[in-house]
Structure 1
Amino acid sequence: MENLTENYYNGSIQYNIDNRLKISLNINENKCNIPLSKLFTMSARENKKRDFLFVSKVIGKHMPMIPGTLKIIGGILARLWINERESSYHYPTTELVHTLISLDASRSMMDLNLKSEEKTMRNHNISVNLSNSNDILNTPIKLANKTLFIGFAETATGLAQAVFQNFSNASYIHTTREKITSIEPALFFNEEHSHAVEHSLFPYKQDFFNDFEDIVLIDDELTTGKSALNLIKCLPGKSFGILSILDWRDAISYKMFEDEKNINVRVCSLVKGDIQCSKSKNIVSDAITQSSSSTKLIPSKEHVFEIADSIEGFNKATGRFGLSSKDNSKVFEEIKSISEILKKERTTGNCLCIGTGEFIYLPCSISSKLGDNVFFHSTTRSPVHARNIDCYGNKNKVAFQSPEDDTITNYLYNIPDNFYNQVFFFSEKPLLKEKKEELNRLFSHFHVKSIIFVCWKG
C-alpha cells in the first residue's frame, strides 16, 4: 500500500488503499529530519468532505503510543516556535528528536515477543532516553511576548497542552464540542471539513482573549488552514501563529492566508509538503466490533478522584476554561499523586491506558508514570474506515455510544486481540453502571484480563 523505506525523510510517498484511494505526498521540508514513518501513516475517512486521514503516531488518538511520546513531541514543537517567533536557538531539539525516534510504539509492541532479557534492555533504553529528555524539558522557556496557546478539539488538545507546559509565562485554552450551559461561550466557529463542525471556547473570564500579544493555534496537521483562519477571524489582536506537526497547504491555501491583509499569521510546522488524492471506488470497511451482552464480564475496579475546581464536572486542569503557566505546578502535582495511587493497581503484562475524546493530556501524563509495557491512545468521534491491511492506520474499529452522551457515537481503533492484560479507562466524569459494563464487555472481547475505571468528581 505504501511506497517507503523505514527512514524516509523527504521526497515523494505514494499510498494506495485497496486500489480505491490513491494518495501522493511530496515532502518539501522536514525541519528535524524525523523519519516520517515515526510521525504518521494514512487511512480513509468516512467523510464526504475529505477522503483521507493523516493518522498520527505521536498524539495519542487513533494509534497506541508510548505515553511519554506526547511530552516529547510537545517539547519539540515548543522549541520550534521559540526559534521561529524569536529567532532563539538556546533550546535545541536534537536530544528530544532522538528520544522521539526511539519511542516507536509499533516496534515496541513487536519487541514484546522478545526474550525477557531483551525486553528488559529495551525498557531500560526507553527509560534512559526519557530521563535525559525530561532533564531538558524541566528547563522552562520564557517567551518575550505574552502568549496564548489554543488547542483544537478533539484531536490536538493533548498535543497543545504538551506544548504549552514548556513555557514559564504563557496561557492555554482549548476549543470544545462539549455542551456547557452554565457559561456563555466567548467564541463559536466551524471546522468545515470535520465530522463534527461546531467548536466553542469557554474562558473562565470574559476579557480572557484581550490580554495577549501573540495568540498561537495548535493542531496536529493543516490541510488547507481554513479552520484556523475561521477561528483567527473571531479573535482580538493582529499577531497570530499556527503551530502544527504537518502542513499540507497548497498554492490556493497559501493565497487564502496572503489575502488576509489585516491579520499577521506566522505558520510553523515540523513537516511541509503537498498532497494529491484520487478515489476510484468507495472503501469497504471491515466489520465493526460492538459490545455483546453474551460476552462475560472481566474483573473491574473504579478509582474516583475528588476535584475542588471544576465546572459542570469538567476538570479545570484540562485547560478547557483556561490555564496559566502558574497553574502547571498544580497540574503536575495532580498527575504525580494520582499516578502513585494507580501504579499500585498495575498487574504484569501489557497495559493499555485509554483517554476519552478531548480528555487526553491528563490521562496520558498519568499513564507515562505507570511503568513499562504501557501504551496509550484515546476514544474519538471520528468515523474512519477500518481495514486490516499492511501500512494502514486503522486496523480495526470498536463502536459504542459516548459514555457521557448517548446521542454521540464513539470509536476506538487498533485494539489487538490477546495482547493487553489490563486496561485503565480514564473519563473526565464518573460513568453509569451500564456504561462501565458495556466497555467491560468490549475489552473482554479482546481477551483483556481486567479493567480499572478512573474518573474525577467535582
Structure 2
Amino acid sequence: MKNCLNFNCEIDIVDNPLNLDLNDFLDIGIRNNSKRRFLFISKKLGKHLACKPSEMDNLGKLMATIYNKKNKVASNGTVIAFAETGTAIGHSFFDYLSGNYEFIHTTREQFDELENLDFLEEHSHATDQNLYFEMLDNFKFGDEVILVDDEITTANTCMNIIRKIQSIYPKKIYTICSILNWVSDENLRRISSLEIELGCKIEFVYLFKGDFNFDINEDIVANYNDNCNISKLSIMKDDKINLIVNHINVDLEDYIGNKKYIRYTGRFGINKREQIKLKEIIKRESKKIVIESKESLKKKAEKVLFLGTEEFMYIPMLFAKEKENQCDIYYHSTTRSPIINIDKNNYPIRSKFKLKSFYNLDVQNYIYNIDRHNFSECYLFVELDKSENSYLEFIDIIKNTSIKKLTIVCCS
C-alpha cells in the first residue's frame, strides 16, 4: 500500500462477505505511538477524514446487514462500541440491528454517580476505558453482548471486556463486529481457549478479514517526530476579519449528571424506544440550522462541514444527514489520536491542528486536513455547555482555513 516516510504495508484480504473494494474504505497513517506505530484510517468512518454523513451511517448498516443475515432469529442483548473511534459506527450498527437490543459505548469520561466496568485498551494512546452499565437491563439479563469497533487486530481488548462481563453477568454468546478483522490464527486459538474457560461462544462479523505486514524505519520516524510541525497560522491578518461566528443551542431534552451529558449519546445506555425518540428530536432541532440553498452553494462550488468532538460523533452525524439533501455536506470529528502529518499527495493526513479538548483541558485534541478542503461553512457540535472563551482556540484554527462562517452548536 502507500509508501511514505519509509513505511510499507502489505495487505492480504481472505474474506470479503459483501465483495466491497478495500481501497474505498481504507488508508494508512503513522502514529506518534511507539506501542503501535501504524493506524488504519477509514475513509468513511467520519473520524480523521471528512466524508459524507450517509457514508458513515451506511458502515453500521453494512455490518448490521451481515449480522442480521447470519442471525435470522431475533435475539436480545447489548451492543457495546469502543470509544472514541467506534462510538458512531456502533450506534449506527445498533440502529439497523434486528431484535431487542440496547446500545452503550465505552468512554474516557469519569462519572462517579453510576457503577462502572473499567478495563484496558492495551494498544491505545489512552488506555483507560469506562463502561457505565447501571441503567441497562439487557446487559444484566440479556443473552448476548455485541462488541463493535472499526478494527480488531489482536482481540486483546475484546477478551479483556468479555472476561470482565462474564464474571458478573454471564452471557451465552459474544459477537465481535468490525470493519477490519486482522485476528491471527494464534489469537483465534486463544479465543477458543477463552470460550472453553468461560463457557460461552465468541463469534465474528466483519466487512474485511485478512492479515497485513507493516514495516517502518523507526530511526527515520523518531527524527521526523522531532521536526514535525503543526500547521502554521499563515493567513494574513486582514483576511481573518472575514470570519463570521454564530452560536445556537439545540435542545436534546434529556441530560445526566452535573455536567449535563446528553442522555441519548449512548454513553450511559440507550434502548430502541429511546433511539426512535432521539431521531425525532434531531429532526425537530435540525430546523434551527439554516443553510444556504443547494443551488446557491453549488454555484459557488462550496462545501459545508459538520464537525463532532471526540466521542460525540453520532448525534452530529445525524444532524449532518438531515441536511445532506440540502447542500454539499461533509462530516467528521476532532480526535485524541495523534497521527503524523506529511504533506504529500499519497498520504492521507496532510495537515493537523492542535486544540484542547472541550471535555478536559488537560487532554490534547487534533483536527486533520481541515484547511485542505474548500469548506465555506463549519458547524461545530459540542456536547457540554461552555463559555464563549472556550472556543477562541478553535476560532483561531478556523481563521486559517477557507471557512468564512462558523456556527457553534451547543447541545444543551
Give the alignment's TM-score, normalised by structure 1. 0.80
Deviation of the 1:17 alpha carbon: 2.3
Deviation of the 1:203 alpha carbon: 2.5
1:270 matched to 2:217? The reply is: no
Partner of 2:43: 57
Partner of 2:189: 255
Q: 1:258-296: CA deviations, max 9, x gaps? A: 221123100111101101122223332542136799964
Partner of 1:105: none
Q: Which moved more, 1:288-297 or 1:193-202?
A: 288-297
Partner of 1:147: 77
Partner of 1:93: none
Partner of 1:11: none
Cα RMSD for the two superposed structures: 2.0
The letter for the 2-side match of 1:33 is N
Q: Which moved more, 1:264-273 or 1:386-395?
A: 386-395
Counterpart pick for 1:166 among 71, 93, 96: 96
Partner of 1:435: 390
Partner of 2:163: 233
SS of structure 2 residue aligned to 1:343: coil
Q: 1:72-115: CA deviations, max 9, x gaps? A: 1111110101222x2x4xxxxxxxxxxxxxxxxxxxxxxxxxxx
Answer yes or no: is the 8 Å Cα contact 2:306–2:332 preserved in 1: yes
SS of structure 2 residue aligned to 1:326: helix
Partner of 1:16: 3
SS of structure 2 residue aligned to 1:388: coil
Q: Which runs of 5+ in 1 are unaligned?
A: 3-14, 89-142
1:179 matched to 2:116? The reply is: no
User: What is the distance in 1 between the residues matched to 2:262 and 2:232?
Assistant: 29
Partner of 1:447: 402
Partner of 1:222: 152
Deviation of the 1:152 alpha carbon: 0.5
How many residues align structurally? Answer: 386
Partner of 2:229: 287
Partner of 1:306: 251
Answer yes or no: is the 8 Å Cα contact 1:189–1:231 preserved in 2: yes
Answer yes or no: is the 8 Å Cα contact 1:291–1:400 preserved in 2: no
Alignment of 1:56-455 (within 5 A): 56-84=42-70, 86=71, 88=72, 144-167=74-97, 169-185=100-116, 187-205=117-135, 209-235=139-165, 236=169, 237-260=171-194, 261=196, 262=198, 263-280=200-217, 281-283=219-221, 284=224, 286-289=228-231, 296=240, 298-312=243-257, 313-344=260-291, 348=297, 349-370=302-323, 371-417=326-372, 419-455=374-410
Deviation of the 1:184 alpha carbon: 3.2
Q: 1:370-396: CA deviations, max 9, x gaps? A: 222110000000001111223322111
User: What is the distance in 1 between the residues matched to 2:43 and 2:369?
Assistant: 12
**Percent of residue pairs identical:** 28
Answer yes or no: is the 8 Å Cα contact 1:304–1:430 preserved in 2: no
Return structure 1 stretches of 4+ with deviation > 4 angstroms.
290-295, 344-347
SS of structure 2 residue aligned to 1:259: helix
SS of structure 2 residue aligned to 1:455: strand
Counterpart pick for 2:19 among 33, 49, 52: 33
Deviation of the 1:434 alpha carbon: 2.1
Deviation of the 1:50 alpha carbon: 0.6
Q: 1:141-180: CA deviations, max 9, x gaps? A: xx52112111100001000000101135211111000122
SS of structure 1 residue aligned to 2:56: helix
User: What is the distance in 2 between the residues matched to 1:396 and 1:292?
Assistant: 13
The letter for the 2-side match of 1:366 is F
Cα pair distance change 1:229/1:345, threshold 3 Å: farther
Q: 1:36-86: CA deviations, max 9, x gaps? A: 1111100011111111100001111000101111221111110101222x2
Give the alignment's TM-score, normalised by structure 2. 0.89
Q: Which moved more, 1:205-214 or 1:37-46?
A: 205-214
Deviation of the 1:252 alpha carbon: 2.1
Q: Which moved more, 1:396-405 or 1:166-175?
A: 166-175
